[in-house]
């Protein structure tokens, strides 16, 4: 029975290509550079990109419905700055963390409500969300605020040794989010409704699915994940700065696309998105090994993106032709 | 189990979109258990509005809907579905990106331990598909199958949810003959299980093939309900277009004399469009009004769209003035001297928020190219000229078009195309929904234009109007031209006979 389910996954051609690409890049790195091939290199991909994985998984929910959320980078920055600010005031971490996560959820619910009830473009509404959160960061502080809270330091610096490599504690948050998202999308009615909306919203409505509730909820999930990514990012950097992570929302979206998510909705998976993030991470690593300017990462990702959207287009037009 | 034979009864249903727009007026309808019931009528007859009222998509103004003797008031398709009324629309309303099995069970998935039980979904779907005699892989994406199979999946879902009433809204439009046969087998199977099926279609052959009962609507009014076996095709067409076959004489002759054949403007040779018109042969000459007659969906508008370059010609040749042309866009057609007033002026024709003047010069501007300026003065002159010529009732040429009456809007569109000095003018239902006075004016304009040497193609559902305007009429049925009549051969009876097709009782003539 598990074999059958696995077959369903592999049906997604883009995901297969993505996985193959990851292995190819890893092999390329291992052949080209000494010390590249190690467990440590692999685990560091997770250590360095845990926050991006969380944010990308969140935005995947929105992309699957055919929407878009470009507010997530600002939400991450806001979460970092606001957490750092509150912690400096001496507020306890067990209040700060739930509070910033709650703010994330409320922001997402607000944006989702506007998009759904007033039939607004997700792009514009989340652009407003982006400006709003980024603006609030600077209102709180334009300076970088260091975090000295003991709990944060503890989580930030402790890790598990695993052979030659290590995993930081906060990576497990990302892993939990991935598993929760996979389960939600595959085994709950809510998850299937997301795919149905992305496939054909009008049909989903006529089939009696709760379209309205689902569409609002995906934005709440996206913003919640962004806030959580913000918490993880503040573990990672132990500081909050209003200008950090500018443009990260596009990294998240491109990860999803490289992972096989269609921007028109209805097709994609969280595992694909995760591999998409890892591919970006490995390109970054290769660029570092090659001693190139880090902007070469962007160039490589741009090329990849172009290739992927063309492949997706070709696949979808082929199925269209196959119909009749 | 309830054994009441009547499944659904609709009484005195009235639906007004506004005081002036009455979509349904005191309509009734009755569906019995184990019956396939055709709901017929021309465009605007109110078929789809009736379906929408029944399934809760639209709210009715008055009337009673009862289901198995109990009054019901569904407010959404979902509520109708819960009661036992499912609808399969013309456009497949499923999700192309999900598997066949999931499309059948989404929203009511079998669960095990709180999570969706995929094995159960796939197994149950497989069994259901076997019941419909379909051997397909239910775990594959829906869009990897043909539209026909998608349609069957939709029907399977609908019948599995509620085995009482199934509404099929023009399900056969995109199906091949083989696929239609399969669909009909399914319908008969469901009928034998006691399901009531409402079948909306515009293919008369199919009505006679599969239905037991026919209800005809016309202009939002109830015309009658008949046993299919006892209603001849000609009678049926008469009811749909509002003419009793026995009452019409062939005295009504065309007003336009077939003049000596004008010079040939365009010639269609074996023209076939993708999924529409097949092997169409037709010539269009200067100085004549060529009518395209046929029921809705017979290929009238589709032919016009091919000639105007909106749809691509798949096979065959289109010659204009003796030269073979391939029109890649409507602009090519405009440059070749063709003008087209589309069927739905609200969506395809007028630009409501622009003035009369701006609407009139639109096509001329396109023809001249966007960079060649038409001066304000020229534009005003052109506008004034046509406002006078066509007697468009507007205070000034600066009035916004949306403030004009339907008839005058139609004249503005006519003016727009006349301003391009076309050699061929195609008019698709130019007089629908406008008052009788303006209607007569437009008809006169059309015949006058032909007299001045223009070639005109005229499409209308009203036979009277065709007789008044056309000097030659091509009759289409099921996307094919089946006859062409001209001059004294044109009569209402002949046209109706051809439109109805099928077996005709010889003694009727």
CATH number of B444's domain: 3.40.50.300
Which residues between 231 and 290 in chain B have a beta carbon less than 8 angstroms from any beta carbon of chain A?
A: none
pLDDT reported for residue B22:
79
Q: Do residues A255 and A277 touch, judged by C-beta distance below 8 A? A: yes
ipTM confidence score = 0.84
Q: Are residues B506 and B377 in the same domain?
A: no
Q: Are residues B85 and B174 in the same domain?
A: yes
Dist CA A18 CA A257 (whole Å): 10
Q: Are residues B13 and B34 in the same domain?
A: yes
**Residue B126 falls within a domain, yes or no?**
no
**Residue B241 falls within a domain, yes or no?**
no
Q: Are residues B158 and B302 in the same domain?
A: no
Contacts with B140 from chain A: Cβ below 8 Å? 11
- Domain residue ranges of chain A, discontinuous segments joined by +: 14-315
Q: A176 touching B, CB under 8 A?
A: no
Domain that holds residue B147: 6-97+141-231
The tokens of A181 are what? 């998202």
By C-alpha distance, the chain A residue nearest B117 is A187
Q: Do residues A248 and A73 touch, judged by C-beta distance below 8 A? A: yes
The tokens of B419 are what? 């301003």
Cβ pair B146:A7 closer than 8 A: no
Indicate the residue of A183, A206, A324 with minimum beta-carbon distance to B77.
A206
- DSSP conformational letter for B99: B
Query: Which of B203, B231, B259 is a domain's end point?
Result: B231
Q: A256 touching B, CB under 8 A?
A: no
- Flag residues of chain A having pLDDT under 70: 1-12, 316-324
| pLDDT values of chain B reduced to their tens digit, one per residue, 509 residues | 456 788 999 999 999 877 767 788 999 999 999 999 999 887 667 888 899 899 888 889 999 999 988 999 988 887 888 888 888 877 778 898 899 999 999 988 899 888 999 999 999 999 998 888 788 899 988 888 877 788 889 888 888 886 689 999 887 766 777 778 888 888 898 899 889 999 998 778 888 999 999 999 988 889 999 999 998 888 888 888 776 665 554 444 444 454 556 788 888 888 888 777 888 888 888 888 899 988 777 888 888 888 888 888 888 888 888 888 888 888 888 888 888 888 776 666 777 778 888 888 888 887 777 777 778 888 888 888 888 888 888 888 888 887 777 778 888 888 888 888 888 999 888 887 676 667 778 888 888 888 888 899 999 877 778 888 888 899 888 888 888 888 777 887 888 888 877 544 433 33
Domain count, chain B: 3
The tokens of B278 are what? 């097949």
- Beta strands, E only, B186-236: 196-200, 213-218, 221-227
Q: Are residues B190 and B280 in the same domain?
A: no
Q: Compute how many other C-beta atoms are within 10 angstroms of the C-beta atom of residue B504.
A: 15
Residue B364, strand partner residues: none
**Residue B107 falls within a domain, yes or no?**
no
Distance (Å) from the alpha carbon of B462 to chain A's nearest alpha carbon: 35
pLDDT reported for residue A316:
64
Q: Do residues B325 and B318 touch, judged by C-beta distance below 8 A? A: yes
**Residue B129 falls within a domain, yes or no?**
no
Distance (Å) from the alpha carbon of B78 to chain A's nearest alpha carbon: 5
**Residue B384 falls within a domain, yes or no?**
yes
**Helix ranges (DSSP H) in A188-269:** 189-199, 201-206, 211-237, 248-258
Kind plus residue range of the DSSP H or E element containing B81: helix B77-83
pLDDT reported for residue B261:
62
**Residue B133 falls within a domain, yes or no?**
no
Query: Which of B366, B387, B421 is a domain's end point?
Result: B421
Q: A2 touching B, CB under 8 A?
A: no
The tokens of B508 are what? 């009727």
Cβ pair A319:B144 closer than 8 A: yes
Residue B341 backbone phi and psi in degrees, to 5: -100, 110
Q: Are residues B311 and B369 in the same domain?
A: no
Q: Are residues B416 and B440 in the same domain?
A: no
Distance (Å) from the alpha carbon of A90 to chain B's nearest alpha carbon: 42
Q: Are residues B388 and B440 in the same domain?
A: no
Q: Do residues B478 and B205 touch, judged by C-beta distance below 8 A? A: yes
Helix and strand tally (H, E) in chain B? 16, 22
Q: A266 touching B, CB under 8 A?
A: yes
Cβ pair B95:A267 closer than 8 A: no
User: Under DSSP, is residue A210 helix (H, G, I), strand (E, B) or coil?
Assistant: coil
Q: Is this structure's pTM higher than 0.80?
A: no
Q: Are residues B221 and B293 in the same domain?
A: no
Q: B98 touching A, CB under 8 A?
A: yes
Q: Given this structure, which CATH class describes domain A14-315?
A: mainly alpha
pLDDT reported for residue B348:
67
Dist CA A3 CA A6 (whole Å): 5
Q: B143 touching A, CB under 8 A?
A: yes
Dist CA A76 CA A62 (whole Å): 17
Dist CA A164 CA A250 (whole Å): 33
- DSSP conformational letter for B164: S
Q: Helix, strand, coil proportions of chain B in percent (round to 5)?
A: 40, 25, 35
Q: Is the dihedral of CA A125, A126, A127, A132 positive or negative?
A: positive
Q: Do residues B452 and B458 touch, judged by C-beta distance below 8 A? A: no
Cβ pair A189:B143 closer than 8 A: no
By C-alpha distance, the chain A residue nearest B88 is A206
Cβ pair A192:B109 closer than 8 A: yes
Dist CA B283 CA B279 (whole Å): 13
First to last CA, chain B: 51
Cβ pair A206:B102 closer than 8 A: no
Indicate the residue of B97, B106, B143 with minimum beta-carbon distance to A209.
B106
**Residue B405 falls within a domain, yes or no?**
yes
Q: B145 touching A, CB under 8 A?
A: yes
Contacts with A188 from chain B: Cβ below 8 Å? 115-116
- DSSP conformational letter for B39: E
Cβ pair B107:A4 closer than 8 A: no
Dist CA A18 CA A277 (whole Å): 11
Q: Are residues B431 and B417 in the same domain?
A: no
Q: B116 touching A, CB under 8 A?
A: yes
Distance (Å) from the alpha carbon of B143 to chain A's nearest alpha carbon: 7
By C-alpha distance, the chain A residue nearest B138 is A8
| Burial profile A292-309: b = 16 or more Cβ within 10 angstroms, e = fewer | eeeeebbebbeebeeebe
């Amino acid at each position: 029975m598990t074999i059958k389910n696995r077959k369903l996954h592999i049906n997604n051609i883009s995901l297969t290509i993505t996985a193959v690409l990851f292995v190819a890049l890893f092999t390329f790195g291992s052949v080209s550079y000494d010390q590249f091939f190690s467990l440590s290199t692999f685990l560091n991909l997770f250590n360095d990109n845990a926050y991006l994985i969380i944010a990308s998984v969140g935005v995947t929910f929105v992309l699957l419905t055919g929407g878009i959320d470009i507010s997530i980078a600002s939400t991450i920055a806001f979460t970092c700055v606001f957490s750092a600010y509150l912690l400096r005031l001496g507020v306890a971490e067990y209040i700060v963390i739930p509070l910033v996560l709650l703010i994330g959820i409320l922001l997402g619910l607000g944006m989702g409500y506007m998009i759904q009830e007033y039939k607004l473009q997700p792009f514009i509404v989340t652009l407003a969300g982006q400006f709003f959160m980024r603006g609030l960061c600077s209102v709180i502080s334009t300076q970088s605020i260091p975090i000295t809270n003991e709990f944060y330091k503890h989580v930030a610096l402790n890790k598990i040794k695993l052979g030659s490599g290590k995993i930081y504690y906060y990576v497990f948050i990302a892993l939990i989010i991935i598993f929760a998202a996979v389960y939600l999308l595959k085994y709950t009615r809510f998850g299937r409704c997301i795919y149905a909306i992305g496939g054909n919203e009008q049909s989903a409505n006529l089939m009696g699915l709760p379209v309205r509730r689902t569409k609002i909820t995906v934005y709440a999930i996206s913003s919640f994940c962004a806030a959580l990514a913000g918490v993880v990012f503040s573990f990672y950097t132990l500081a909050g700065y209003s200008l950090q992570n500018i443009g990260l929302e596009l990294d998240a979206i491109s990860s999803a696309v490289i992972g096989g998510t269609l921007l028109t909705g209805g097709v994609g998976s969280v595992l694909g998105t995760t591999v998409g993030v890892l591919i970006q991470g490995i390109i970054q690593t290769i660029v570092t090994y090659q001693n190139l300017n880090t902007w070469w990462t962007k160039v490589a990702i741009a090329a990849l993106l172009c290739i992927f959207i063309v492949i997706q287009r070709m696949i979808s037009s082929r199925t269209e032709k196959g119909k009749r | 189990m309830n054994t009441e034979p009547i499944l659904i009864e609709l009484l005195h249903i009235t639906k007004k979109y506004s005081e002036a727009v009455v979509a349904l007026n005191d309509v009734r309808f009755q569906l019995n258990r184990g019956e396939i019931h055709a709901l017929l009528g021309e465009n605007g007859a109110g078929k789809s509005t009736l379906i929408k009222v029944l399934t809760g998509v639209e709210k009715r103004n008055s009337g009673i809907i009862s289901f198995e003797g109990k009054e019901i008031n569904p407010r959404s398709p979902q509520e109708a579905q819960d009661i036992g009324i499912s609808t399969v629309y013309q456009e497949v309303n499923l999700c192309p990106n999900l598997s066949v099995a999931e499309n059948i069970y989404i929203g009511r998935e079998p669960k095990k331990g709180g999570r969706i039980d995929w094995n159960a979904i796939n197994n149950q779907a497989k069994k259901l598909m076997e019941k419909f005699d379909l051997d397909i892989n239910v775990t594959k994406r829906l869009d990897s199958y043909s539209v026909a199979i998608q349609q069957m999946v939709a029907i399977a879902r609908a019948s599995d949810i509620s085995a009482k009433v199934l509404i099929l809204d023009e399900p056969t439009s995109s199906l091949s003959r083989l696929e239609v046969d399969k669909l009909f087998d399914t319908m008969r199977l469901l009928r034998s299980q006691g399901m009531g099926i409402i079948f909306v279609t515009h293919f008369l052959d199919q009505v006679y093939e599969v239905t037991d009962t026919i209800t005809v609507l016309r202009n939002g009014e109830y015309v009658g309900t008949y046993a299919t076996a006892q209603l001849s095709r000609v009678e049926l067409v008469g009811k749909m277009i509002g003419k009793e076959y026995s009452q019409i004489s062939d005295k009504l002759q065309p007003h336009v004399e077939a003049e000596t054949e004008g010079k040939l403007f365009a010639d269609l040779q074996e023209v076939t469009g993708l999924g529409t018109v097949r092997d169409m042969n037709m010539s269009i000459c200067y100085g004549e009004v060529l009518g395209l007659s046929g029921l809705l969906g017979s290929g009238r508008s589709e032919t016009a769209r091919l000639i105007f370059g909106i749809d691509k010609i798949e096979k065959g040749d289109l010659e204009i003035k003796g030269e073979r042309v391939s029109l890649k866009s409507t602009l090519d057609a405009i440059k070749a001297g063709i003008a087209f007033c589309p069927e739905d002026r609200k969506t395809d024709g007028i630009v409501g928020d622009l003035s009369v003047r701006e609407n009139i010069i639109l096509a001329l501007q396109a023809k001249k190219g966007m960079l060649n300026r038409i001066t304000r003065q020229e534009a005003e002159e052109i506008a004034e000229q046509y406002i006078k010529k066509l007697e468009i009732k507007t205070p000034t040429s600066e009035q916004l078009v949306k403030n004009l009456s339907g008839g005058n809007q139609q004249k503005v569109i006519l003016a727009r195309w006349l301003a391009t000095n076309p050699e061929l003018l195609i008019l698709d239902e130019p007089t629908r929904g406008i008052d009788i006075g303006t209607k007569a004016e437009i008809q006169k304009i059309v015949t006058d234009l032909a007299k001045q040497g223009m070639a005109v193609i005229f499409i209308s559902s009203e036979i009277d109007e065709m007789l008044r305007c056309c000097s030659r009429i091509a009759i289409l049925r099921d996307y094919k031209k089946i006859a062409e009549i001209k001059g004294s051969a044109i009569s209402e009876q002949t046209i109706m006979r051809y439109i109805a097709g099928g077996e005709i009782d010889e003694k009727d003539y």
